[in-house]
Amino acid sequence: MIVNYVPTGWQIIYQQAHALLAAQLLHQWPAFLPPDRWVGLLAAAAQHDDEQADWTGHYGLTPAGAPANFTMKEFSLEQATRLMRAARFQGRWRSLLTSLHLSTLYESLRGQKAEIDSFLDEQLACQKTWRRELKLKKAEADQAYTLLHWCDRLSLILCRQELPEMGRALEIYHGPNGRRYEVLRPAEAGPVQVQPWPFRETHFSVSVEATVLAQLQFRDDEELAQALRKAPIETLRWDLQK
C-alpha cells in the first residue's frame, strides 16, 4: 500500500487502486496496437500489482507501529510467482507484459539469492518464447511495455503526492515514442499538465480511492486491518489539461 502522512493522519492507497489509476491514464493515450492487444495492455496495467500476500508478521507495520509504505517491503518471490500464474490465464500477451514489468523491477536483485536468479532467468526465457509465438519483435513488445511503465510512474507520482511545488516540472519517464515527458501543476490545486501532451483529449479527469486513518500507531497488523476496514474512504481526483 501507498502511505501518505496528511494533517488528518495517514492516507492509504492500495497498490491495486494505484494500478487502476495507471490504467485510466493509459486509456487516454491514442491506441497504437490492434484492439485485442490494446485491451490486453490495459488489463496488464490494471492488474500489475495484484496477488499481494496476506499480512504476516510486520508486513503492514513499521517497527514504530505506523502503516508501512510499499517501498519498505522486500521483494516477494511468492507474490511475483502468483502474479505470473494469474496472468497466464489471460494469455501470452498479458503474460509477456507482466513478465517484462517484473524483469524491469527486479533484475537489479540478480546475484542476491539463487531462487531470485532462477525466477529472473525464467522470465527472460518465457519472454523470448512468447515473442516468438506471438510473432512479435522485441522492439514492439518493449514499446508497449514502456507505455505501461510510463503510466505506472505517473500514477505513483500522483498517488504519492510528488507533484513539485511552485509549478516546477518533474520527469515522468520516456514514452513509447522515446520522448521525455514531464509533469507539473502550474497553479496550486489547478489542473495537472504533461509536457509534451500525449493524450487523445485536451482535458480529462482521473481518480483513485484512499482510506484515511486518524490513528497513527497500531499494536499489530490485526489492529491495522480492523482500522482500515472501518475507516472512511475519500476519492482523490486530478484534472489533466493540455
**For 182-217, how does the pLDDT look when each residue is reduced to its tens digit (9 = 90+)?**
999 999 889 999 999 999 999 999 999 999 999 999
Q: Does the pLDDT at position 229 exceed 70?
A: yes
Q: Does the pLDDT at position 59 exceed 60?
A: no
Listed range (33-47, 62-76, 159-173) with the worst mean pLDDT: 62-76
130 SS3 class: helix
The mean pLDDT of 93-122, rounded to a whole number, is 94
* Cell numbers linked to 19: 494500478
Question: What pLDDT score was predicted for residue 53?
Answer: 54
Question: What pLDDT score was predicted for residue 74?
Answer: 74
Alpha carbon distance 132, 136 (integer Å): 6
- The pLDDT > 90 percentage for the chain reads 76
Q: Does the pLDDT at position 94 exceed 70?
A: yes
The mean pLDDT of 14-38, rounded to a whole number, is 96
Question: What pLDDT score was predicted for residue 70?
Answer: 78
Q: Does the pLDDT at position 77 exceed 90?
A: no
Question: What pLDDT score was predicted for residue 57?
Answer: 42
159, 175 contact by CB (below 8 A): no
Q: Does the pLDDT at position 236 exceed 50?
A: yes
Q: Mean pLDDT in the chain? A: 92
To the nearest 10 degrees (0 to 180), the angle between helices 35-47 and 92-106 is 40
Question: What pLDDT score was predicted for residue 149?
Answer: 96
C-alpha distance from residue 204 to each of 133, 149, 179, 217, 238 (Å)? 37, 20, 22, 37, 9
- The pTM assigned to this predicted structure is 0.91
Q: How confident is the model at residue 83 (pLDDT cuts 50, 70, 90)?
A: confident
Higher pLDDT, 71 or 17: 17
Q: Does the pLDDT at position 56 exceed 70?
A: no
Q: Does the pLDDT at position 87 exceed 80?
A: yes
Question: What pLDDT score was predicted for residue 6?
Answer: 93
* Cell numbers linked to 93: 500477451
Q: Does the pLDDT at position 138 exceed 60?
A: yes
Measured in whole angstroms, the distance separating CA 181 from the mean position of its chain's CA atoms is 17
- The pLDDT > 70 percentage for the chain reads 95
